[in-house]
């Protein structure tokens, strides 16, 4: 099959990648559409020494697997856990020490014509959700994870630092909770899009210091991290939603003195994300800046890496399927 292959921080299109064979309990999925996210771009930059097919945001058709899934459009949770270790038995399969992660850790990803995942990881896409919109399920679920990790009383006044791909989704989901929400960013066009939808926006550097209960850092750079730390009230909560290709220097003095809480946050619940998409409570398709064929995947990733670009999609299906 054709696939985008990452090796030694070099991304290239290959036409000789074997179609994956599903293991016991797994399904074979024909990929229709895939989304390029910041983690993919950080992997290319060397965030983690991954070699294989890149990509983890997808919508596809189940070609082999449980009868109730065959022929259905699905999205998939990216962590394939062992089910038997201490983390799994404690109900934390996303922290399974033996897990593989789609397009990130020891499992080929979705920038290809086919992929495999445990059937238990797959969720059927509601008919009313378009394939393009469903491609946002994984990052939308990651946005919703914040609400599961930080109690409502600790996020009354909230700042999202970074109005990029994930920042837009986090802002839209947190806005539904009724908090006093602000979004800080550097790209005027991205802030204007959010402002047009009724969200309060500001230049990131202009965010009022020491005035937010919770700050969500979505930039993945040291400047954004510093701004986020400065914006927190004493005993505030800093949620880290970014992966960093390089090292990050942290002055722990303000963390200790101000008794701050640092929360790492990544994967989240798919079912609520699909429900939001089905109900039209978040807008995702306007965030699509470009669509490319898989054959042009290297150019697509270069486009996604350009400042100010939001979502870039890869279309793998035949004409009319996406």
Average pLDDT of span 142-159: 96
5 class by beta-carbon count within 10 Å (0-12 exposed, 13-18 middle, 19+ buried) = buried
Residue 292 clears pLDDT 60, i.e. is over it = yes
DSSP string, 123-170: EEPPTTS-HHHHTTHHHHHHHHHHHHHS-GGG-SEEEEE--SHHHHHH
Q: Which residue has the tokens 């991304």?
A: 11
- Say what the pLDDT of residue 318 is: 42
Length of the chain equals 322
Given a contact cutoff of 8 angstroms between Cβ atoms, the answer to whether 246 and 48 are in contact is no
Residue 195 clears pLDDT 50, i.e. is over it = yes
pLDDT digits (tens, 9 = 90+) for 39-71: 999 999 888 889 999 999 999 999 999 999 999
pLDDT digits (tens, 9 = 90+) for 213-228: 999 999 988 899 999 9
Choices 3.40.50.720, 3.30.160.40, 3.10.20.30, 3.90.226.10: CATH for 143-264 = 3.40.50.720
pLDDT digits (tens, 9 = 90+) for 83-118: 999 999 999 999 999 999 999 999 999 999 999 999
Average pLDDT of span 135-145: 98
pLDDT band per the 50, 70, 90 thresholds, residue 249: confident
Residue 321 clears pLDDT 60, i.e. is over it = no
- Percentage of residues of the chain with pLDDT beyond 70: 97
3-136+284-315 in CATH: which number? 3.90.180.10
| Side-chain half-sphere exposure of 74, counting CA atoms within 13 A | 29
The Cα–Cα gap between 1 and 23 comes to: 18
Mean pLDDT, the chain, as a whole number? 94
- Say what the pLDDT of residue 319 is: 37
- Say what the pLDDT of residue 317 is: 64
Residue 258 clears pLDDT 80, i.e. is over it = yes
Residue 290, helix vs strand vs coil: strand
- Say what the pLDDT of residue 238 is: 97
Dihedral angle sign, alpha carbons of residues 80, 47, 212, 274: negative
Average pLDDT of span 300-313: 95
Residue 245 clears pLDDT 80, i.e. is over it = no
Residue 252 clears pLDDT 60, i.e. is over it = yes
pLDDT band per the 50, 70, 90 thresholds, residue 250: confident
**Where along the chain do its domains lie?**
3-136+284-315, 143-264
Distance of CA 179 to the CA centre of its chain: 22
Given a contact cutoff of 8 angstroms between Cβ atoms, the answer to whether 166 and 38 are in contact is yes
- Say what the pLDDT of residue 320 is: 34
Given a contact cutoff of 8 angstroms between Cβ atoms, the answer to whether 58 and 34 are in contact is yes
pLDDT band per the 50, 70, 90 thresholds, residue 309: very high
pLDDT band per the 50, 70, 90 thresholds, residue 16: very high
**DSSP H or E run through 3:** strand 3-7
């Amino acid at each position: 099959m054709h696939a985008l292959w990452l090796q030694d921080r070099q991304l290239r299109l290959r036409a000789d990648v074997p179609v994956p064979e599903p293991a016991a309990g797994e399904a074979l999925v024909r990929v229709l559409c895939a989304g390029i996210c910041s983690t993919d771009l950080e992997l290319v930059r060397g965030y983690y020494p991954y070699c294989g097919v890149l990509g983890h945001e997808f919508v596809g058709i189940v070609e082999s697997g449980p009868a109730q899934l065959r022929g259905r459009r699905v999205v998939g949770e990216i962590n394939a856990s062992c089910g038997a270790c201490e983390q799994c038995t404690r109900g934390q399969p996303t922290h399974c020490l033996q897990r593989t992660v789609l397009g990130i850790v020891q499992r080929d990803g979705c920038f290809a014509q086919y992929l495999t995942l445990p059937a238990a990881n797959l969720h059927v896409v509601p008919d009313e959700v378009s394939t393009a919109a469903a491609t946002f399920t994984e990052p939308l679920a990651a946005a919703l994870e914040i609400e599961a990790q930080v109690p409502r009383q600790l996020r009354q006044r909230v700042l999202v630092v970074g109005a990029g791909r994930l920042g837009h989704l986090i802002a839209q989901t947190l806005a539904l909770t009724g908090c006093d929400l602000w979004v800080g960013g550097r790209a005027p066009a991205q802030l204007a899009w959010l402002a047009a939808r009724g969200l309060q926006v500001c230049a990131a550097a202009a965010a009022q210091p020491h005035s937010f209960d919770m700050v969500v850092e979505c930039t993945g750079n040291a400047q954004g991290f510093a701004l986020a730390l400065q914006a927190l009230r004493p005993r505030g909560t800093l949620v880290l939603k970014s992966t960093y290709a390089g090292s990050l220097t942290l002055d722990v003095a303000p963390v200790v003195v101000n008794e701050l809480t640092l929360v790492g946050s990544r994967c989240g619940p798919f079912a609520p994300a699909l429900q939001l998409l089905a109900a039209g409570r978040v807008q995702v398709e306007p965030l699509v800046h470009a669509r490319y064929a898989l054959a042009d995947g290297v150019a697509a990733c270069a486009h996604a890496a350009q400042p100010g670009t939001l979502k870039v999609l890869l279309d793998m299906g035949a004409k009319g399927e996406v």
